[in-house]
Amino acid sequence: MSVGERGPEWTSQGVAELRAGDADRESVVEHLRIAAGEGRIDVTELEERLDRAYTAKTYGELDILVSDLTRERSPVSRFGADGEALVLKTRLSNIKQNGPWTVPPKIVAECKMLSIVIDFTESVCAHREVTVEARCGTGTIQLLVPQGWAVRIDGSSTNTAHISNKVTAPADPTSPTLRIVGHPRAGRIRIQQARRTR
């Protein structure tokens, strides 16, 4: 399913203008390297597209780099109308998902090392509940939520001594609830609330 096939909630123009994160850029970089290995683009094209991928700011800027390399959905079109999860995995660099972005009903964050920051303060969320499955080895996963959001640590979480929830303000019943399923080992999962703007 392409960006333009998501239905009324997912207009092509709207998604293209959303800010991309580090995970989106890394996904496109990997896709480009595979394409070069298969001989679909040459070394010069690869270097040019890699430069553009690392400096891309929006989904639209990333999608155009792989639009001629796939017959299906591009690697950055990760939010399906069927409720597909957003998957964030660290490899060689930290990941920060922030700025204006649309929140899916489920997020999977996994870091063996390094860190993942998921900032919901400028996001758009149409769901009453969002599940975040957080797994970390020696790394850190930090979640930053807006005022009014509720946070609930799921009972199936493990090693909860390594999960820190600093969200203490009263929840707004009209705002989303973030359900955390945490599985930290030596790492940490931290949930914090954004400061109130004056």
List, for residues 115-144, the tens digit of each pLDDT value: 999 999 998 888 899 999 999 989 999 999
On the question of pLDDT at 14 being above 60, the answer is: no
Does residue 106 or residue 75 have the better pLDDT? 106
Q: Are residues 174 and 91 in the same domain?
A: yes
On the question of pLDDT at 8 being above 50, the answer is: no
pTM metric for this prediction: 0.60
Sign of the dihedral through C-alpha 97, 84, 82, 76: positive
CB 54 within 8 A of CB 29: yes
Give the residue from 55, 79, 103 where a domain finishes. 79
Q: Are residues 21 and 68 in the same domain?
A: yes
Q: Are residues 1 and 71 in the same domain?
A: yes
Closest CA to 6 of 65, 84, 66: 84
Sign of the dihedral through C-alpha 5, 6, 7, 13: negative
- Tell me the residue range of the domain where 187 lies: 85-198
Instruction: Please list the residues that pair with 169 across neighbouring strands.
Output: none
Q: Are residues 106 and 129 in the same domain?
A: yes
Q: Are residues 72 and 103 in the same domain?
A: no
Q: Are residues 154 and 111 in the same domain?
A: yes
Sign of the dihedral through C-alpha 120, 125, 127, 128: positive
How many angstroms separate the CA atoms of 108 and 85, rounded?
A: 7
| Alpha-carbon torsion angle 127, 131, 132, 133, nearest 10 | -150
Q: Are residues 194 and 109 in the same domain?
A: yes
Q: Are residues 139 and 193 in the same domain?
A: yes
Q: Are residues 101 and 121 in the same domain?
A: yes
Q: Are residues 11 and 71 in the same domain?
A: yes
Give the residue from 24, 48, 79 where a domain finishes. 79
Q: Are residues 56 and 110 in the same domain?
A: no
Tokens standing for residue 186 = 């030596």
Domains contained in the chain, number: 2
